[in-house]
Every structure is written in C-alpha cells, then in structure tokens.
Amino acid sequence: MPLARPSAPPINARRLALDVLTQIEEQRAFTSLLLDAKLRRAHLSQQDRALATELTYGILRWQSRLDYLLAAITDRPWERVDPTLRRLLRLGAYQILFLTRIPAYAAVNETVVLVRDVTRSHGGAGAKAFVNAILRRLLDKHETIPFPDPSIDPVGALAVRWSHP
C-alpha cells in the first residue's frame, strides 16, 4: 500500500496574507484583485477573512515603518535578510504593533509556526530561531527605537513615522 503524501498545511488567515504579499512583491500583482480571488477560494470564517484582509492591507500601508523598526533590531543589514523571512517578520511585527486584540505572545507563536510551514528551503530551524529572536526583541525594544530627528531630517522623520514614501 503506498504511503500517503503529506498534505499541505491548511490555509489560514496569516498564510493567505503571506501568500498575497509574496505575489505582490514577486509578481507585482494587484492587491485587491489577488486578495479577493484568494479569499473566494479559501474556506475561511468571516473573522479569518477579515484578519487576512487587515494583515495584507495593514502591512502594505505600514511597510516602511515596519522595515525601519525591524532593521534597527536586526544584526544584519535588512536588505540581506531573505525576502521570505522579511515578509514573515513584517507579518509578526504588524500584529505586535498594530493589532491590539491579538496578544503579543500569540503573534510571535503564530508567526514562528508559519515560518516552519514555509521555510523548509530557507533554513528550517535556523529561520524559526531568527524570526522568534527578532520578534521578541521587537517586543522588548520597539518603544525605545529612535525615529529620525525631525529637526535634522523632517521629511525622513515623517516618512518613517507615518510610513509614507
């Protein structure tokens, strides 16, 4: 009797948002069209559909600020962090910083679980440890990370604080 093939992890709100963000970044897909199509095909509750939508649009809206904060606490240059890990870190960071109904420990845990599901070719355990460490560091330090000084760089300060190009 043949062995059953391992099934892909069930889609959830975070995974759907990550898939949409990946396609937007890699294929320049249109957010609303792609998200709507994926939501139609996914068997998600109304609550999970709302979470997937919030994560997708929220991360895109605040990406510059998220990247600034994450780069400030990452030991390597942000541009050298694997793109998949950057997207996962943004996903966790957005939940920690902007979604007050999701406990921080749950945001970290759910992101690390997602790392395991999507990073088999990106370092597995090392990727999980990296994402876990960075998100926990963000929890501890996000309120003390200095933004650019508006008296020195007013445009840069506004751009980072409000995530506006």
**28-82 pLDDT per residue, tens:** 989 999 999 999 999 999 999 999 999 999 999 999 999 999 999 999 999 999 9
Tens of pLDDT, residue by residue over 75-101, are: 999 999 999 999 999 999 999 999 999
Give rounded-to-5 percent helix, strand, coil for the chain. 70, 0, 30
Cα distances (Å, whole numbers) of residue 124 to 85, 103, 115, 129, 141:
11, 25, 8, 9, 26
Within a domain: 5:
no
Query: Which CATH number does the domain housing residue 151 bear?
Result: 1.10.940.10
Within a domain: 39:
yes
Within a domain: 1:
no
Residue 51: give the domain boundaries: 13-162
**Nearest CA-CA partner of 56 in 87, 101, 100, 102:** 87
Residue type, 60: L
Within a domain: 87:
yes
Within a domain: 78:
yes
Tens of pLDDT, residue by residue over 105-164, are: 999 999 999 999 887 755 678 999 999 999 999 999 999 999 999 999 999 999 999 998
Cβ(78)–Cβ(66) below 8 Å = no
Domains in the chain: how many in total? 1
**Nearest CA-CA partner of 105 in 70, 146, 138:** 138
- pTM score, whole prediction: 0.90
Cβ(93)–Cβ(85) below 8 Å = no
Burial of 66 (0-12, 13-18, 19+ CB in 10 A): buried
Residues 13-19 have a mean pLDDT of 97
Q: How far apart are CA 110 and CA 133, in angstroms?
A: 14
